[in-house]
Amino acid sequence: EVQLVQSGAEVKKPGESLKISCKGSESSFNNYWIGWVRQMPGKGLECMGTIFAGDSDTRYSPSFRGQVTMSADKSLNTAYLQWSSLRAADTGIYFCARQKIYGWGSTGWFDTWGQGTPVIVSS
């Protein structure tokens, strides 16, 4: 059973950069779309975008385009989410999740989730 293991909690100051990771337990990780989902404190789930780990093709949700960068290293079975300049409003828990592929490459539900990476941005 595939597992997604995320990097640990981060405490940063506004203006700092950050890169968090999501590592898949199997090489099949590279055959899936991986989504990044934000959960702000006490709030719901927001999909930031998805990345195909095998070729780093990305799809950003409109609200997050230009705010974050998704990347992947297929040799390490790892996806990344990074910020160049954090803001207090980026505080939250960030989940990665594997997206089901069906049919001729259509993408579906998120069937496997990482444990989440808490990010706190505070001066």
**Nearer to another protein (CB atom), residue 84 or residue 113:** 113
**Considering the rule CB under 8 A, would residue 10 count as an interface residue with another protein?**
no
Both structure tokens of 87: 């803001």
Q: How many whole angstroms separate alpha carbon 22 and alpha carbon 30?
A: 12
**Residue of 3, 7, 61, 71 interacting with another protein (CB under 8 A):** 61
**Is 62 a binder of another protein (CB under 8 A)?**
yes
Q: How far apart are CA 6 and CA 19, in angstroms?
A: 11
Which of 45, 54, 55, 122 touches another protein (CB under 8 A)? 45
Residues near 42 by Cβ (< 8 Å), separated by ≥ 6?
A: none
Residue closer to another protein, measured from CB, 24 or 35: 35
Alpha carbon distance 39, 32 (integer Å):
22
Residue 36 as a binder of another protein (CB under 8 A): the answer is no
41 burial type by CB count under 10 A (0-12 exposed, 13-18 middle, 19+ buried): exposed
Residues near another protein (CB under 8 A): 35, 37, 44-47, 50, 59, 61-62, 95, 97, 99-100, 102-103, 106-111, 113-116
